[in-house]
Amino acid sequence: MATTELLITNVRVVRPDAPEGTEPQLTDIAVNDGVIARIAPNLDRADAAKVVDGRGLLAFPGVVDAHQHWGIYNELSTDARTESRASAQGGVTTALTYMRTGQYYLNKGGSYREFFPEVLSATDGNAHVDYAFHLAPMMARHIDEIPYLIEEHGVTSFKIFMFYGSHGLHGRSSSQSDFLMIPPDERYDLAHFEFVMRGVQRAREVLTEYAPYVSLSLHCETAEIMTAYTKLVERDDSLSGLRAYSASRPPHSEGLAVTIASYLAHETGLPNINLLHLSSEKALDAALRMQLTFPQVDFRREVTIGHLLADVDTASGIGGKVNPPLRERDDVEALWRHVLAGEVDWIVSDHACCRDELKFGADREDVFLAKSGFGGAEYLLPGLVGEGTKRGLSLQRIAQLTAWNPAQRYGLRRKGTIAEGYDADIALVDPEARWTVRAAESESTQEYSPFEGFEMTAKVTDTFVRGHHVFADGKVVGDPVGRYVRRGR
């Protein structure tokens, strides 16, 4: 009788804790009960119930994509099925997806005690990869629920959307309370952001076991700057498309929001702050300045693969509208410099599937009528391996940026590396593959891609989630095996 359930042979394991630049050595990986049992060369094939030949490919830790948006434009249960398929296609084995009350998502307000069980019910049994949720306290009662969410559901990460104060998801907003579905006597403003920070810190002080993994993430853009600049851009006939949208949400809007958020973290004593999808040199500069100013705050800096691969000229049409916007090429190059300097903590997809019928307005070329966000989880690891290694990014650093760092920050204690005792979440990558991005070949239901026509120089061939072979031979295989992950313990 076989004593090994799964044996993955002939792979070059990329370890995030290996010395920088270490060449991965050929080895085998034995898996039992979804957990890595042994890593060593020439393990006994006859002792395994199932053997998968890794063909000398790179074995990366399964990607912990720390920024997705399931259910923002499609029904949540549908997105859990289809967008988790796109995740598996890109080597993502754990998706951390943002969720809030208000318009979009479940399109309802109220207490998270009532709302979040509906979220869990909608996703249960539908995902092909493991998943967890970040939650956004949108109103005062949500702040009071933070300890409950941590203890009852293992939710250890929370979010503030700084631009929602007087700006909507896609542009100007005329009614904050309607859009956010908050009580009419409450405001989603700087004071609320302060109180959220105080609430998260109170929870950390009481729930000390969870405290290292409890953090607050911020979408840093300044509503007043964006509203004013949108008016200016709409009157400027020389700007159109993605360049116009970028100008309407200028980089200094990010820098200002980063500065405000950082001072509030200092004021409230909250040490664990994540600065999301920084898209520009000004945003990264502000983030690094704030780290020097407030060394007691453990800032983490996030960048998306979209902002690293595409700019306002190279993205395929206004399907590349996203918040914060794709930028000029100078900003793309600046982001890469910061990545290579070790000043970025993790890289994500910000995957938000928006189908064609919802994405574009009556005038398909009017960027201000289009919805914000696009998918991209399927291009995260191959895009970073291909472009990153060309620029001198080590394989070990890629494993840190895509798996280990976000797993550690967000309390995924058994994710993020290939080592004995950890979940058998593994992505096999061919670093020599050459292929062209075609939206029609994606597992996502999104019919277009801002990366359409991009030439990729690495490809995910196989994905394993807790030892389940969920992506093989270019296809998602088997029934959904993804589980909700409680974090922090």
Distance CA 191, CA 60 (A): 43
In the block, residue with structure tokens 């609320």? 192
What is the DSSP secondary structure assignment for residue 102, as one 8-state letter?
A: B
- For 452, the token pair is 């359409």
What b/e sequence results for 185-210 when a residue is b if at least 16 CB atoms lie within 10 Å of its CB, and e otherwise?
ebbbeeebbbebbbbbbbbbeebeeb
User: In the annotation, is 350 catalytic?
Assistant: yes
CB 487 within 8 A of CB 412: yes
Spot the catalytic one: 350, 423, 425, 462.
Answer: 350
Distance CA 54, CA 43 (A): 13
SS3 351: strand
What is the DSSP secondary structure assignment for residue 404, as one 8-state letter?
A: I
Burial of 161 (0-12, 13-18, 19+ CB in 10 A): buried
Non-local (6+) Cβ contacts of 57 within 8 A are 11, 12, 428, 429, 430, 461, 462
Alpha-carbon torsion 226, 70, 433, 35, what sign? Answer: positive
CB 180 within 8 A of CB 454: no
Separation in Å, CA 66 to CA 61, 99, 345, 380, 485? 14, 13, 11, 11, 13
Helix axes 190-206, 146-153, angle to 10 degrees: 50
SS3 432: coil
Nearest CA to 216 out of 278, 282, 146 is that of 146
Separation in Å, CA 133 to CA 66, 98, 312, 368? 9, 6, 30, 29
Distance CA 20, CA 16 (A): 9
What b/e sequence results for 293-307 when a residue is b if at least 16 CB atoms lie within 10 Å of its CB, and e otherwise?
ebeebbbbbbbbbbb
Distance CA 119, CA 132 (A): 11
Distance CA 437, CA 72 (A): 24
- Catalytic residues, by residue number, are 350
